[in-house]
Structure 1
């Protein structure tokens, strides 16, 4: 379904990461499609990373953080480097992001990509993502307020204060979509319109 464009926005380079690991039909993929659709309608330059379409392993040694990651992660992370704004979409599994989503981010971080280590010329690590903004879109079975109030949005805060925060992304925003298993078509269409508008705004 195509939603109308509300207004014109400044052109932004966007990297959209669809981090659902299963290529089958899932809400996360449809939400990523809606975000991409909105961004393209507004004339933004958007590149997409679909983790379900990529083959990569897991980081097994801390020493691997010091070297560049293997393909295809090495090439795919360049989409993040080129972007002004990064949007990450994933489902909440066992209170956290899927293991393959975390694996991709760990591999992408290798070789001082997100954060350059301190050295003799500077006492603190260098934030490599300064000047970029980020948004996380999370889907889950539980109601969103339960996740935020009862579970304190643990995975979300870890991501926002951890990887996104220490590497320099700012501002970092989020969208929580809860109760997805019980949601009917009307609720889903409302979500798609909301995400489409976020894409238009490059937020």
Structure 2
């Protein structure tokens, strides 16, 4: 199976990077082909500009967008790994979605509503945040985050979300707490992509 990981964290020493490494190692151990698109390392340009839209309308998708779309087209499964900042996606990842999950590529209008052009792909999302999970659960933030990404991005384009892991209290846990998170990541990928 071809697995695409879209990764968005600027610090190579972060927990998110340890999650990325665990994900890649688990998938490779299970025989999957893995491509990582590290948006910060790529210096991905996240701003959707008018000239991008005009070029795509004219059938001349800009090269940086076309490259990412090719990776998505070739993937059987797509994983997003990113921290929750200000209750949402980091700007670089939001811009990736704005530019790459474009009209005519990821979705299109149909007589009965939206045509989901990325059907047949599996999706998995892993998030970290500083707030305890119990607080996010209680105030409805966990549900909100799942709606905006699982439904608003993946389901809207036809990608089937198989799991969404949210790890809270980052920065406040001991080493065992972080090891437990990495073990859960490994178990999750073994369960869905063994």
Which TM class, normalised by the smaller chain length?
Answer: 0.7 to 0.9
For residues 82 and 17 of structure 1, the distance between their equivalents in structure 2, rounded to whole angstroms, comes to: 14
Aligned-residue RMSD, C-alpha: 2.2
Q: Which has the higher contact order (CA 8 A, sep 6+)?
A: 1
Q: Mind listing any 5+ residue stretches in structure 2 that lack a counterpart?
A: none
Q: Where does residue 47 of structure 2 map in the other structure?
A: 58
Change (3 A) 1:125 1:65: farther
- Does the CA contact (< 8 Å) of 2:52 and 2:61 recur in 1? no
Q: Where does residue 40 of structure 1 map in the other structure?
A: 28
Change (3 A) 1:81 1:202: farther
* TM-score normalised by L of structure 1: 0.83
How many pairs were matched up?
188
- Does the CA contact (< 8 Å) of 1:160 and 1:172 recur in 2? no
- Does the CA contact (< 8 Å) of 1:141 and 1:179 recur in 2? yes
- Does the CA contact (< 8 Å) of 1:64 and 1:110 recur in 2? no
For residues 57 and 42 of structure 1, the distance between their equivalents in structure 2, rounded to whole angstroms, comes to: 33
For residues 145 and 70 of structure 1, the distance between their equivalents in structure 2, rounded to whole angstroms, comes to: 43
Task: Please say if 1:192 is aligned against 2:158.
Answer: no
Q: Deviations along 1:19-65, whole A, 9 cap, x unmatched?
A: 22x14421111101101100001111111111111231401449818
Q: Indicate the structure with greater helix content.
A: 2
Q: Mind listing any 5+ residue stretches in structure 1 that lack a counterpart?
A: 1-11
